[in-house]
Amino acid sequence: MTRRIGYARVSTVDQKLKVQKTALERDGCAIIFEEKRTGTKRNDREQLELALKVLTKGDTLVVTRLDRLGRSMRDLANIVHEIEEAGAHLRVIEQSVDTGTSAGRAFFGMLAVFAQFETDVRRDRQAEGIARAKKAGVYTGGKPQIDRQEVRKLAAAGNGPAAIARDLGVSRMSVYRILREDEGTATD
């Protein structure tokens, strides 16, 4: 008996799976594995792993869009290979892909290339945006630096580490670390 097994994924816990689940149910999926995890890496995608494990000969793993399954060509190729090893095939509803046919396998290959391209372009745009923001002084990246001179000035004025930390909006440990550094330099 062949089964249609659905896999629905969104990237964050704030996003909803309802639209994907409805489409998968309409496509005849009786079992739907749901996940709220990023698709850029396959690690920790437990529901995907379960969906792949339950596939048997003649089954179809169904997703609404290819990017729900993975974003890199390597991941997509590996996933499809696992599906094929189980004797099953992949169906992508919105992109009309069915790896059960030779035309579907060819189309899947092209879509995988475009999925990788889209990921690369998104990464490049993000890097360009960060570079522009840094140049404009809007984005400095990393954690804000503690004004060490201000810590020393407040300590010299008789303020305790807790008061200094509260005034500067930093942790007490950071204040203690700076003051300890000063003690180490004074005795050397």
Q: Which residue has the tokens 């062949």?
A: 2
Cα-flanking dihedrals φ and ψ of residue 8, to 5°? Answer: -120, 135
More confident: 108 or 174: 174
What's the pLDDT at 140?
A: 66
Cα-flanking dihedrals φ and ψ of residue 120, to 5°? Answer: -65, -45
Q: Which residues are the active-site residues?
A: 11
Q: Which CATH code of 2.60.40, 2.40.10, 1.10.540, 1.10.10 fits the domain covering 148-187?
A: 1.10.10
Give tens-digit pLDDT for 28-57: 999 999 999 876 677 788 999 999 999 999
Q: Which fold has domain 4-121?
A: Rossmann fold (3.40.50)
Q: Which residues of 60-94 are buried (b: 16+ CB within 10 A; e: fewer)?
A: bbbbbbbbbbbbbbebbeebbebbeebebbbbbbe
Give tens-digit pLDDT for 133-172: 888 877 766 666 788 888 999 999 999 999 998 888 888 8
Residues composing the chain = 188
What's the pLDDT at 186?
A: 53
* Domain edges within the chain: 4-121, 148-187
**Whether 168 contacts 147, CB under 8 Å:** yes
Q: Which residue has the tokens 């984005």?
A: 139
**Mean pLDDT for the chain overall:** 86
Give tens-digit pLDDT for 98-115: 888 888 878 877 877 777
Give tens-digit pLDDT for 74-90: 788 889 889 999 999 99
What's the pLDDT at 142?
A: 63
**pTM to 2 decimals?**
0.61
